[in-house]
Chain A
């Protein structure tokens, strides 16, 4: 089989110059599964359980796309990719979607040959301190020692923030998040900083979680979202509108439980969304009931959020900026019409 693959590689090498590439959607349908690049190491976003079953926000988003394309959320293959190889994996077609808590930045969008498809989670860097310090705001952190992971944007953000506020700090850098958490717990530094979603996860691992508070200030913008390879508009549209469909479904009150009743709704927006009226999905290469499939199998955005990182999970994250725009958050999706 390896031999066959090698021969195939050679053949493709010869043909590559002339052959036109089929769209990703075609390839995905032919393969019968979508390859989604995930991290595998971020609590609440993508992590396998003890039986090897994946869960998390990033994972559920991949399942939503699979539900839209195949009407089966199981037809998705999760490929763990590291931070350094994630963009290459996307460019070379090793994965079809990168759903790996990746921050949407100008450079990545413009130069890396990939396209971001919206924002799945608004994250931002925050601070955690021990209640004993009596600190109420990040502005009071002048002179504090801060546990940071080396070589991350968090390191640069802290430096920017303290310089902008004319404060000083002592960085205590560590190689891994685990290490810095343990060191923070033993009192090696006053402040622990990372993305807000990570802070909540890390707090649960401290010896006395209740003794620590997460300060309200968020000092950076970390919009996390799925990305696809640059150049295939149709596939980009499918991924982008899967995300918008999830948000629209929550806004219109369509959940995995009531979606069957909602099919009989008289609200024209819901009718359009679920494909009762018009056949919008078909214009994208899918079926008209694509949103019905997504919501039926995976749920709407709110359900995904609550299931993986919401207040009832060990992470216990409030919606905050990830609430719908109608409820004071930033989640806003263009209408399906």
Chain B
């Protein structure tokens, strides 16, 4: 199963096993990984599951949809590698995916 690593704002890393088809957000919630709030539960409606994708995986996670891009355009502390983790679906290709969570989701 693909392994996903979450690094929080203080630099602490947590690696958990993901499941194909689940999102990076859901996987964090399932494993009690802090730093991702996901208030809307993955409906791409709240932008509280913001993560920074490590550069070497940017190509593999694909590009954000128009809706996600718009949500990101106006989120706080956005960087070129920002994504909403509720919109990244896990697959074997993403084994080793590493994301960093921002200081705050609000």
* Chains A and B come from one and the same complex: no
Q: A-contacting residues of B (Cβ < 8 Å)?
A: none
> A residues bordering B, Cβ < 8 Å?
none
